[in-house]
Structure 1
Amino acid sequence: MITKDIKLPVKKNETGMVANVLEQFNKAADHIDLNPNIRRILNVTNNEIIIHFPVKMDNGDVEIITGYRVQHNNALGPYKGGLRYHETVDIDAAKALAMWMTWKTSLAGLPYGGAKGGIKINPKLYSQSELERITRRFTYALGDNIGPEHDIPAPDVNTNAQTMAWIADTYMSTKGPSERSTYQHVVTGKPVGSGGIEGRDRSTGYGVFITIKLWAEQRNISLKGKTFIVQGFGNVGYWASYFMEQEGAILVGVQDAFASIYKPEGIDVKQLQVHVTNNEGSVNNFADSNAIEKADFFGIDCDIIIPAALGNQITGDNAHIIKAKLIAEGANGPTNVEGEQILLQNGVDIIPDILCNSGGVIGSYFEWLQNRNGELWHMDEVILKLEKVLKESFKRVYDYAITEGVDMRTAAFCLAIQRIEKAYIQRGIFP
């Protein structure tokens, strides 16, 4: 019997990003009058894996490392989502990020579900050889909890193509010699020479840029001369800035974990990238830029803000200082519910994370297909297909938001959830 009880409240012990994503989910579920039984399913994760494993350090000491993998939902296909190496990684962060991945893959129309995970470390404290041993040991410990048709990890914060190559090699080494080559697509985001796809490195940042450009087109404005700031200058922040600059926009501020810089005349993106590479990964002390207080960064006078670092960065404490007219969420969950309410009240548009940064998982899907089908895709083909998917997703979200009179995040969530609801209704619930 289907009942109409139906708003499942956020549990009192759910805080931070978990509370944030559940609030977003419930808002959209209410709007579409989601089947209450399906709401119950989507309100929880399928599997939550915590692994403690020993790794020998370079000095001979053994350190116990903790890793996580949360699999939220696989109604539409294999679990898909990144692995991050960061001190903030815990089971709650992995749960929230896994849920966002479910909505992201669904919105993009991909045959995937959502997962996320990582290792609770500061990778800067470990040598390259130690990181390799940690990665391989974590992969071995995960065992068949990952797999090319079951759960497909990808790079995330502080992980990269090399990390994925280690995972793929370790996973394939656990299989029989005759079948190892068929497991190459256990991860995506690999080096091009090891089964990766051209363009995957820039796909997330390019997607951020494309959604900003589409937003501007809807308002009949040009990005040329528009100013923007970026929080986080890793892979996503750099490529988003690179393509924005190519379009004529001006980067005036950047913030990372070490410093916040401001240069109203404009920051050359390539020069900053060279500086970061030679400066232990930090924007600190970039030539002719002004150092500003961390708390003042989002208040910089600019047109567009691209948060491309961690979650819960724009909150009720700082949203009121924002002067920009657009937030393009390159990171996952950078704006919490309270912060978003303030921004919307102040007339600030938000391109939500599950749309804005979905270029990464779309690019991953192309790589997965390339490996699975024994094909070879080239850069121009990848970028063309990526742009096509993003344009279709943006139009659906934008049109739904206008038609239904809701913000873009709610529109994106509604469309994503409806696709999963349809799959459950058509297939039924076993047994």
Structure 2
Amino acid sequence: MVTEAPKQKVQLKQGMLDNVMRQFSNAAAIIGLNSNIRKILEVTNNEILVHFPVRMDNGEVEIFTGYRVQHNNALGPYKGGLRYHPTVDIDAARALAMWMTWKTSLAGLPYGGAKGGIQLDPSKYSLAELERITRRFTYALGDNIGPELDIPAPDVNTNSQTMAWILDTYMSTKSPAERSTNTHVVTGKPIGAGGSEGRDRATGYGVFLTIKFWAEHNGIDLKGKRFIVQGFGNVGYWTAYFLENEGAILTAVQDAYGTIHNDNGISVENLLAYSKANKGSIVGFAGAEPLDNGEFFALDCDICVPAALGNQITVENATKIKAALIAEGANGPTDVEAEEILLQRGVEILPDILCNSGGVIGSYFEWLQNRSGEIWQLEEVMAKLEKKLRESFTRVMETSKKRGVDKRTAAFIIAIQRLEDAYVQRGIFP
């Protein structure tokens, strides 16, 4: 039962890096993490910052700043997305890279964590300019990425086309003999360029599956349950698509342009078609009414899916949330203070490193297929994804119960312990 929270003292909004460090420190203290290993995991391995010039369509040259932060590779090659957004900076990249380390470890993948991107608003550039920016960024990164070193993937405002440009640019720097063995330098590629069936929906499907597992665990039927989604990109759309197919009702959506709401339900497919025809915006959709952005999280619903950017649920809006469940489709959407309020009120949270891990699991499947020269059918990919996610979900629930901790802390404990085991068994050079 969700209860009202007592009045909270307003605190300054914390950055994502501060949030992930506090989440890590909390779990590390509970398990008594080896102090030397803790020192290693508290810092990143490598931080790459590049400034590079690109000629615009009008002939002018613009200088861009790109980042790639490689947090840890004790379990395997660095893995993580590239995002194109004005909020991209070194601290954001550090935080997101650390979350990727915990996410891949929790999922039991042979990967470490990395993240990066370019500080820009892609809506201000033409497709031809974005291609030149992407290719020049790839060239600037050089040998800091590679199929057995660091494997980028799509993230906010990047997609399969972006990955195809990176792949082509990277391969053009290799000898003819090497090109055929480097297709797994990125994942999330188009099918024709070596991509995997199901990778486009893997993250959203994973969010849906985690919600479904939670519902089964609690004896809840999703049919008729009302849900709201923040962000109607790849993750938000596919999550809503699968939830709607399960009988749940989408009642509100918020994106970068505005918020819409309809108590009687919003057709996911109709909204997608409108968004595609309206340059990605949901504003003006005839099947819903506009709503003030500040009212989104306060809407009456059963499930809230933040699938946009980090730090969206804060102390300012946590007391207003009416959902019984928050399923984190985005990375770091809930800050630490807000989470404390929500847990006190009985709101359950499916943490990002579990809930949205379907994307990196799908990327792993694509990477495996490229390495072995195999092509898996969609049904096989989806079945493998469900099996992998169910295993992670079960471990988190068992650890949460055994330790008497919330699900995020349980997920961090599992992830950190796997890394601790690797360091203890291998030792630290020299």
Superposition TM-score tier, normalisation by shorter sequence: over 0.9
Retained in 1: the 8 A contact 2:313–2:335? yes
Answering whether residue 228 of structure 2 is matched by residue 198 of structure 1, we say: no
Q: Which residues in structure 2 correspond to 1:29-428 (within 5 Å)?
A: 29-428=28-427
Q: Which amino acid aligns with 1:51?
A: V
Compare relative contact order (CA 8 Å, sep 6+) and give the higher one, 1 or 2: 2
Q: Deviations over 1:66-97 (max 9, x none)?
A: 00000000000000000000000000000000
Deviation of the 1:356 alpha carbon: 0.1
| CA distance, structure 2, for counterparts of residue 81 and residue 228 of structure 1 | 28
SS of the residue corresponding to residue 48 of structure 2 reads strand
| CA distance, structure 1, for counterparts of residue 261 and residue 363 of structure 2 | 34
Deviation of the 1:141 alpha carbon: 0.4
Deviation of the 1:288 alpha carbon: 3.5
SS of the residue corresponding to residue 176 of structure 2 reads coil
Over aligned residue pairs, what C-alpha RMSD do you find?
A: 0.8
Retained in 1: the 8 A contact 2:14–2:335? no
Q: Which amino acid aligns with 1:359?
A: G
SS of the residue corresponding to residue 264 of structure 1 reads coil
Retained in 1: the 8 A contact 2:266–2:287? no
Taking structure 2 as the reference length, what is the TM-score of the superposition? Answer: 0.97
SS of the residue corresponding to residue 312 of structure 1 reads coil
| CA distance, structure 2, for counterparts of residue 178 and residue 422 of structure 1 | 38
SS of the residue corresponding to residue 188 of structure 1 reads coil
| CA distance, structure 2, for counterparts of residue 107 and residue 411 of structure 1 | 10
| CA distance, structure 2, for counterparts of residue 179 and residue 41 of structure 1 | 34
Q: Which amino acid aligns with 2:193?
A: S
Deviation of the 1:178 alpha carbon: 1.3
Q: Which amino acid aligns with 1:146?
A: I
Taking structure 1 as the reference length, what is the TM-score of the superposition? Answer: 0.96
| CA distance, structure 2, for counterparts of residue 304 and residue 143 of structure 1 | 43
Deviation of the 1:151 alpha carbon: 0.1
| CA distance, structure 2, for counterparts of residue 261 and residue 132 of structure 1 | 32
Moved more, 272-281 or 282-291: 282-291
Structure 1: gaps (5+ residues): 1-13
Partner residue in 2 for 1:6:
none
| CA distance, structure 1, for counterparts of residue 420 and residue 248 of structure 2 | 40
Q: Deviations over 1:158-200 (max 9, x none)?
A: 0000000000000010000111110000000000010000000
Deviation of the 1:15 alpha carbon: 5.1
Misfit runs of 4+, over 6 Å: none
SS of the residue corresponding to residue 377 of structure 1 reads coil
| CA distance, structure 2, for counterparts of residue 359 and residue 195 of structure 1 | 19
- Give aligned pairs, total: 418
Q: Which amino acid aligns with 2:145?
A: I
Retained in 1: the 8 A contact 2:206–2:356? yes
Q: Which amino acid aligns with 1:214?
A: F
Deviation of the 1:403 alpha carbon: 1.2
| CA distance, structure 1, for counterparts of residue 40 and residue 316 of structure 2 | 33
Structure 2: gaps (5+ residues): 1-12
| CA distance, structure 2, for counterparts of residue 86 and residue 371 of structure 1 | 29
| CA distance, structure 2, for counterparts of residue 402 and residue 224 of structure 1 | 27
